[in-house]
């Protein structure tokens, strides 16, 4: 099924994001994780890829595993270090595996890596996929606090409009911790004429290592409520786990109450966290989606 059809059927779409195991690890290393996540009946599971073209092939294998567990996969495809031939090969592989949904990304810049002459922006990739005539649903990334390379949010939204107009059918946001940023962003893109559904990206802060990485990599604003939680429980793994899950559930309930069209949970391959959150919001999703 294409994800755009899921958005037509549901008022609130719920999905997970996972990442493939390291190139040296067996694919089977994530089999159990995927089975546990699939048992929670998400609408789809997205699979990340590294910005270097080589990551895309592992993504395809993991996406196929997701599909074999009865859940729709969304395969991430990056282009910043790939030429048209490499992207075509990735798309052929995905299509050959029966995968119908891709998240078209530029990818993060890797210092020293040769950048593509074919693709400068994710919108170039979207145009390329559409022009190829392949029947993929194409999702795109967006940034409620603005992409870090953009001079300001309005410029970023103007660029986002180019990407959506090129053929994106839904957007997944970068993680954020202050819902007001999401609501402002939602209003701004509506004014810019962007009408595709937007799923809110939520990453529960449940582990010390995630906190360090998330804060340094995403550049997301950290509200005082989270700072207090981190300060108090940073060295207390059990308490941090519970506090992080509670914060994420609170954030999600507010988003769903405010009419968010979907929640995309960055679960960091942790089925326990996914299960706790999925169980907490199950009655709310059931109410919104009519049972
Ligand atoms: P773009 O849409 O190309 O935007 C990048 C920058 O270029 C922005 O500042 C934008 O304003 C500007 N821009 C865009 N179009 C134009 C234009 N036409 N003219 C001028 N400027 C323009 N990275 C990975 O490597 N692998 C992953 O699996 C992955 N998954 C992600 C999933 C989500 C939901 C999100 C939000 C991000 C993900 N990323 C991933 C990170 C992403 O690759 C980076 O944030 C990257 O820096 C930008 O990618 P993009 O597709 O948003 O780029």
Q: Which atom of ligand 1 is nearest to the CA of 174?
A: 36
Which pLDDT does position 3 carry in this prediction?
98
Long-range contacts, stretch 8-11, CB < 8 angstroms, 24+ apart: 10/43, 10/262, 10/288, 10/289, 11/261, 11/288, 11/289
Told to judge if 17 belongs to the known catalytic residues of this protein, a careful annotator would answer: yes
When pLDDT is averaged across residues 254-263 and rounded to a whole number, the result is 98
Q: What spacing in Å lies between the alpha carbon of 227 and ligand 1's midpoint?
A: 27
- pTM for this one? 0.97
Count other Cβ atoms within 10 Å, centred on residue 275: 15
When pLDDT is averaged across residues 37-50 and rounded to a whole number, the result is 96
In degrees, rounded to 5, the angle at the alpha carbon of residue 225 between the alpha carbons of residues 220 and 231 is 90
Residue among 100, 120, 103 at smallest CA distance from 173: 103
When pLDDT is averaged across residues 275-287 and rounded to a whole number, the result is 98
Which pLDDT does position 200 carry in this prediction?
98
| 18 pocket-lining for ligand 1 (C-beta < 6 Å) | no
Residue nearest to atom 20 of ligand 1 (CA): 159
Which of these ranges, 49-58, 187-196, 223-232, 254-263, has the smallest mean pLDDT? 49-58
Count other Cβ atoms within 10 Å, centred on residue 17: 23
Which pLDDT does position 52 carry in this prediction?
59
Residue nearest to atom 39 of ligand 1 (CA): 107
Pocket-testing residue among 49, 120, 147, ligand 1, by greatest number of atoms within 8 A of Cβ: 147
When pLDDT is averaged across residues 127-136 and rounded to a whole number, the result is 96
Residue among 114, 23, 122 at smallest CA distance from 77: 122
Query: Is the pLDDT reported for residue 188 higher than 90?
Result: yes
Encode pLDDT of 214-258 as tens digits.
877 788 899 999 999 999 999 999 999 999 999 999 999 999 999
Asked whether 40 and 50 are in contact (CB, 8 A), the reply is: no
| 201 pocket-lining for ligand 1 (C-beta < 6 Å) | yes
| 88 pocket-lining for ligand 1 (C-beta < 6 Å) | no
Secondary structure class of 72 (helix, strand, coil): strand
Cβ-based burial of 45 (10 A; exposed 0-12, middle 13-18, buried ≥19) = buried
Query: Is the pLDDT reported for residue 56 higher than 70?
Result: no
Q: For residue 212, name the pLDDT band (cuts at 50, 70, 90).
A: confident
When pLDDT is averaged across residues 250-275 and rounded to a whole number, the result is 97
Query: Is the pLDDT reported for residue 54 higher than 60?
Result: no
Query: Is the pLDDT reported for residue 31 higher than 60?
Result: yes
CA distance 127 to 18: 26
| 106 pocket-lining for ligand 1 (C-beta < 6 Å) | yes
Query: Is the pLDDT reported for residue 291 higher than 80?
Result: no
- pLDDT mean across residues, the chain: 94
Which of these ranges, 36-40, 47-51, 126-130, 220-224, has the smallest mean pLDDT? 47-51
């Amino acid at each position: 099924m294409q994800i755009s059809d899921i958005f037509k059927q549901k008022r609130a779409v719920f999905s997970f994001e996972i990442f493939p195991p390291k190139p040296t690890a067996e694919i089977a290393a994530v089999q159990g994780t995927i089975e546990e996540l699939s048992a929670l009946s998400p609408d789809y599971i997205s699979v990340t890829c590294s910005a270097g073209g080589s990551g895309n092939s592992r993504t395809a294998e993991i996406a196929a595993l997701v599909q074999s567990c009865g859940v729709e996969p969304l395969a991430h495809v990056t282009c910043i270090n790939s030429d048209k031939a490499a992207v075509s090969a990735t798309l052929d592989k995905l299509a050959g595996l029966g995968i119908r949904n891709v998240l078209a990304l530029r990818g993060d810049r890797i210092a020293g890596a040769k950048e593509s002459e074919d693709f400068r922006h994710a919108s170039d990739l979207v145009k390329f996929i559409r022009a190829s005539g392949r029947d993929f649903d194409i999702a795109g990334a967006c940034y409620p606090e603005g992409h870090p390379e953009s001079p300001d949010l309005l410029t970023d939204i103007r660029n986002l409009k180019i990407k959506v107009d090129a053929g994106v059918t839904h957007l997944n946001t970068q993680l954020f911790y202050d819902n007001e940023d999401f609501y402002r962003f939602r209003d701004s893109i509506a004014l810019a004429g962007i009408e595709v559904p937007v799923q809110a990206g939520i990453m529960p802060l449940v582990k010390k290592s995630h906190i360090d990485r998330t804060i340094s990599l995403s550049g997301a604003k950290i509200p005082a409520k989270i700072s207090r939680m981190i300060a108090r429980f940073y060295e207390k793994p059990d308490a941090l786990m519970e506090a992080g899950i509670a914060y994420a559930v609170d954030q999600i309930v507010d988003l769903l109450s405010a009419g968010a069209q979907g929640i995309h949970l960055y679960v960091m391959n942790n089925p326990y966290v996914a299960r706790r959150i999925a169980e907490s919001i199950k009655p709310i999703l059931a109410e919104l989606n009519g049972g």
